[in-house]
A and B are shown apart, each in its own frame.
Chain A
């Protein structure tokens, strides 16, 4: 007898779970897939209230996780936030839909400098969400002089206190910029110079790392690290001795952009959301919450003067002019990759 009750209870629980998850109302649903901690929760609430919709907000840790999930066909999302190189790949694989810019009037708030970039030359697929640079994160208690040039990463005073990224494009790019070349160069001679420079640096390097930068810098195990401005902002929040410098020779510019996957069930609402994100007050809310550099001029204008004048996060135009976005070099990528391997295995 008892057993039968249990079965009834079980069936009721399963039925209830079905009801609970099959959203309680008939409101349209917008499915958003974003990086963790990359949007002010209030923004989502405001969008739900103003547009009378339900936002299904989910998060991912890396571009590759997001890509894998979309590619598998197990999940449909209306808005995703890939980085520049990932968007390029998704465009090539026909995974993202063209955005009707007529539905995004707030696109005019985006700084013209951040339009027509190589990953989306005609602004058809993406609206920039946040941007940043590659630069030097340093511990102010361990580094005495002002850091404003890539030369600091070749300073023998800091031998075995320097962390370099184990990432071919980023680290070779650093050497190329130091030499005054483009980080998208396909000149063998320029790359040979960069290689010599990187080999010269190798004895000073404590470790070639990616994920370990975080712990090693927060715990003061290294004085300087090559890293991205976004990471630097997050780490400075964990250790107030850390500061970020964008070298005056120029660097790499990176973007996280809003895009609409091809299989989005609700493209119109997705466009409304992207437009909403670029409304001055909303873009300002997000810029304050996330702390990364915003491409939205209307939001930038509202930021505190202290943030606006921080050269490392909002560099002057002439430094920005020397910064470049990575191009997909096609087959030439292998040359970079091989060169980086040569440096890694060199043990003189």
Chain B
């Protein structure tokens, strides 16, 4: 009695989550530009997407900022977590509390305060200001994900390494990092998606030289979203799916961690 109900519930939930995306993907192949009508299979929106310079530029900024912000924020976040691990309990508590601020703070506040900060220092708005802003909120997410992993490490191994004469870099690289690897990966992935997802903070820190996909697509609101945005969303969805499969494959092939899959 319970089992079929469970299956229906899970199936219904998955359908609820994925059906809109499937519909969107289907309509990206629609020959018609009317939203609710199917007029046969066509790749023309993919053609329109690839010949659109504005979208290409936005995509460049989105991916460029997301990749760089992820790498830098992950590096900072991991080092900060290791540092916090060695800190006094009181300091750790205060820093962790402060670290939640960028996460719970409404994006609008973060965006406007960063903009005012950059204006105050007469920064040249563009790629670099947007990147800095993204690093700032990404670091918070990385620490939140990496810190619990860090608390679980086998400290005896660290002590053993020290006894055997390893310096701090060797300890981080050979002892600590392998143990928190999955947390780092999860933190990086979260930072990457938060960065791609962000509209509000980007809007206020992009200035006149940079843009990103969320700004470009939101700007179409007045004239209606064009079907080539469906094509773009489909491609991004496929890209993310591939990325998750790829990460799961790595985790499966290296069964060196008892915690199993990162994302299942």
Find out whether the CB atom of B36 lies under 8 angstroms from the CB atom of A3: no
Chain A contact surface mostly: mixed
Asked, given contacts A17-B131, A33-B208, whether A74 binds B224 with beta carbons under 8 Å apart, the answer is: no
B252 within 8 A of A: no
B224–A239 CB distance below 8 A: no
Contact call A62/B222, Cβ cutoff below 8 A = yes
Task: Return chain B residues, CB-CB under 8 Å to A131.
Answer: none
Give every chain B residue within 8 A of A65 (Cβ-Cβ).
203
| Interface assignment of A208: CB less than 8 Å from any CB of chain B | no
Contact between A61 and B222, CB atoms less than 8 A apart? yes
Known A-B contacts A74-B204, A214-B224, A218-B36; A60 and B115 likewise in contact (beta carbons under 8 Å): no
Within 8 A of A (CB), among B207-264: 207-211, 215-216, 218-224, 226
Complex contacts, B54 vs chain A, CB 8 Å: 41, 57, 59
State the main secondary structure of chain B at its contact with A.
Answer: helix
Contacts A36-B221, A74-B118, A234-B224 given; does A17 touch B208 at CB 8 Å: no
Chain B CB within 10 A, most for which of A36, A72, A73: A36
Give the contacting residue for A73; candidates B119, B127, B218, B224; CB below 8 A: B119
How far is B211's CA from A33's CA once the two chains are assembled, in angstroms? 11
Q: Name which residue of chain A comes closest to B51, CB basis.
A: A41
Cβ-defined contact, A218 with B127, below 8 A: no
Partner of A56, one of B71, B203, B208: B208
**Cβ of A5 to closest chain B Cβ, rounded Å:** 12
B119 touches A74 (CB 8 A): yes
| A37 in contact (CB, < 8 A) | yes
* Chain B residue at minimum C-beta to C-beta distance from A63: B222
User: Closest approach, in angstroms, between the C-beta of A329 and any C-beta of chain B?
Assistant: 25
CB-based contact A31/B64 at 8 Å: no
A76 at interface, CB cutoff 8 A: yes
| A161 nearest CB across to chain B (Å) | 19
Interface: A143 (CB within 8 A): no
Give the residues in chain B near A240, CB-CB below 8 Å: 34
Q: Which residues of B in the span 61-119 have a Cβ within 8 Å of any Cβ on A?
A: 64, 68, 71-72, 75, 115-116, 118-119
Partner of B221, one of A17, A31, A61, A74: A61
Give 1 or 0 for each of B104-142: 1 = CB within 8 Å of chain A CB: 000000000001101100000111100100000000000
**In the complex where A59-B54, A237-B33 touch, is A77 in contact with B222 (Cβ < 8 A)?**
no
Minimal Cβ-Cβ distance residue in B for A70: B208
Q: Given that A10-B71, A214-B224 are known contacts, is A238 also in contact with B35, CB under 8 Å in the complex?
A: yes
Tell me the bound Cα distance from A38 to B206 in angstroms: 21
> A35 with B222: in contact, given A17-B68, A219-B36 (CB under 8 Å)?
yes
* Assembled-state Cα–Cα distance A74/B219 (Å): 18
Q: Which residues of the partner chain B approach A347 to less than 8 Å between Cβ atoms?
A: none
Q: How many residues of A are counted as interface, with CB atoms below 8 angstroms from the partner's CB atoms? A: 42
* Distance to closest chain B CB from A259 (angstroms): 15
Is A74 a contact of B115 with CB atoms below 8 Å? yes
Q: In the complex, are the beta carbons of A58 and B226 less than 8 A apart?
A: no
In the complex the two chains form, what is the Cα distance from A235 to B223 in whole Å?
9
Task: Tell me whether A2 is interfacial, beta carbon within 8 Å.
Answer: yes
Closest CB of chain B to A235's CB: distance in Å?
8
Contact B207 A75 (CB under 8 A): yes
Say whether B115 contacts A72, CB under 8 Å. Answer: yes
Contact yes or no, B208 A76, CB < 8 A? yes
Residues of B within 8 A of A62 (CB): 221-222
Q: Check if B53 is an interface residue, CB within 8 A of chain A.
A: yes
Nearest residue in B to A68 (C-beta to C-beta)? B204
B108 to chain A, nearest CB (A): 11
Contacts of B226 in A (CB 8 A): 37
Of all chain A residues, the one with the shortest Cβ separation from B126 is A21
* Chain A residue with Cβ nearest B169: A3
* In the complex, B40 has a CB within 8 A of chain A: no
- The CA-CA distance from A238 to B224 in the complex, in Å, is 9
Chain B residues contacting A37 (CB-CB under 8 Å) are 220, 222-224, 226
* Interface flag for B52 (CB, 8 Å): yes
Partner of B53, one of A41, A72, A214: A41
User: Hey, which chain B residues are within 8 Å of A151, CB to CB?
Assistant: none
- B223 engages A35 (CB within 8 Å): yes
Whether a CB of chain A sits under 8 angstroms from the CB of B173 is: yes
Partner-A contacts on B (CB < 8 A): 33-36, 52-54, 64, 68, 71-72, 75, 115-116, 118-119, 125-128, 131, 169, 172-173, 203-211, 215-216, 218-224, 226
Q: Contact residues of A with B, CB < 8 Å?
A: 2-3, 6, 10, 13-14, 17-18, 20-21, 31, 33, 35-38, 41, 56-62, 65, 69, 72-77, 214, 218-219, 230, 234-235, 237-240
A-B contact pairs, 16 of them (CB 8 A): A3-B169, A21-B210, A31-B208, A37-B220, A38-B223, A58-B211, A59-B215, A61-B219, A61-B221, A61-B222, A72-B119, A74-B204, A219-B36, A235-B224, A238-B35, A239-B34
The 8 A-B residue pairs with the shortest CB-CB distance in the complex, in nearest-first order: A36-B219, A59-B219, A75-B208, A21-B127, A36-B220, A37-B223, A61-B221, A75-B207
Additional pairs, 14, CB under 8 Å, beyond known A3-B172, A13-B71, A33-B208:
A2-B173, A17-B68, A18-B128, A21-B126, A35-B219, A41-B52, A61-B219, A61-B220, A62-B221, A72-B119, A73-B119, A74-B207, A75-B125, A218-B36
